[in-house]
A and B are shown apart, each in its own frame.
Chain A
């Protein structure tokens, strides 16, 4: 029997809507995010995965914003694949960039026949988007592979969830900086971005290869899923150290030999977090606009909890950094290999 891993906790955001959209139109994501910001629609969860000329997005909006968000999407040349009302986001933390935590989560879900609709990492958290009806089963499943010091059982966890929503909204509303301040920017260089196109294969099954990455002591610096332009397919994107590309390639081929995977070499991963970024509209629009202005190619993006993580070609990272520093107050930049 596997020893349970001790984690800090998990959060659940209910009553949200997941929208999947793909487009190859020029200026698609930045135009869309500018409009979303103008409409003051918050995106508590967002992933972007580029697939050649196509850009696939998984957006999560609050239920009350569904109609306006869908209207904006249909006005743009985007193709909406899915609008999943009554969704929820479950966020587990901290993963410490250890692929073992992701692997355990996927295995626990697979045992319960739970398949995430979408997932993404922040520096501390793995966020999974599920149908809201599955949230109880999902939260129960977490207590198999993990322990949480603050609660021993799912019932303890439920008792602990007493929100201060009104107060949070007041505090969030008070953040109106012209130049949003972040706590710091962290950069991982010398990475490869791996994209696995999933057909009928489940994310949870392919995720078993993450246990192999953990055995090789690799750090998982980025993780997100996005819709593919090929209907019915989706893309699992993650980044690992370039220096270990042969080793992780072997792991993927051994565990999931049927999958179609490709590598985008020499990328940089940046992560930045700021106060209540997950609750404030306009933050991602600011970032996308700044990168587009400098013609930085954004290969992938994930926004969840209070963080934004992005993947750009390594040769464009300094340009990306200049863009971010122009639009955000960045007190420090920490570079890691």
Chain B
């Protein structure tokens, strides 16, 4: 997986660190962003090979960013893995697994994530 640049976006800095360390241990280069706006800036500066994107984030959430990236020709082909919340247990929120599946994301992983399942999803898309 050398040379692959993956952008990890989540507002939980400890989770970003955990995922980044896992990806770096597999030979990936990792960029980090902590909300949707910062991710957008990061993508403008350097196009990632894949994005791991949380949904519930301040400023711009993962759904909106995913939809925007998938609507633009320059970014449409970037694979996106959404990290969904525990939505099945929270019926009033729109941040559910089902909502995650309904987006144009290439894959989704429910939280709490298992880093090995996440890596399997990454290798499947790269």
Contact = CB atoms under 8 A, between A and B. Distances in A.
Contacts of A332: 115-116
A164 interface: yes
Interface residues of A, number: 37
Given A124-B16, A125-B14, A334 B56 contact: no
Contacts of B21: 186, 334
Chain B contact patch, size range:
20 to 34
B115 A123 contact: no
A167 B56 contact: yes
B34 A123 contact: no
Interface string A154-173: 00000011111001101101
Given A123-B14, A125-B14, A167-B93, A183 B112 contact: yes
Interface string A107-136: 000000000000000111100000000000
B95 interface: yes
A149 B14 contact: no
B14 to A, nearest CB: 4
B32 A8 contact: yes
Contacts, number: 100
B116 A94 contact: no
Nearest to B39: A150
A168 B42 CA distance: 26
A125 B93 contact: no
Interface in B52-85: 56, 58-59, 85
A312 to B, nearest CB: 20
B40 to A, nearest CB: 10
A162 B14 contact: no
Interface string A215-242: 0000000000000000000000000000
Interface in A153-199: 160-164, 167-168, 170-171, 173-175, 181-184, 186
A170 B93 contact: yes
A149 B56 contact: no
A94 B15 contact: no
29 contacts: A8-B13, A8-B38, A9-B13, A93-B13, A94-B16, A94-B17, A123-B14, A124-B16, A124-B17, A149-B41, A150-B35, A150-B37, A160-B37, A160-B59, A161-B58, A162-B58, A167-B95, A170-B90, A171-B86, A171-B93, A171-B95, A175-B86, A181-B112, A184-B18, A186-B21, A273-B18, A275-B111, A305-B13, A334-B25
Interface of B: 12-18, 21-22, 25, 32-35, 37-38, 41-42, 56, 58-59, 85-86, 89-90, 92-93, 95, 111-116
Interface of A: 8-9, 91, 93-94, 122-125, 149-150, 160-164, 167-168, 170-171, 173-175, 181-184, 186, 273-275, 305-307, 331-332, 334
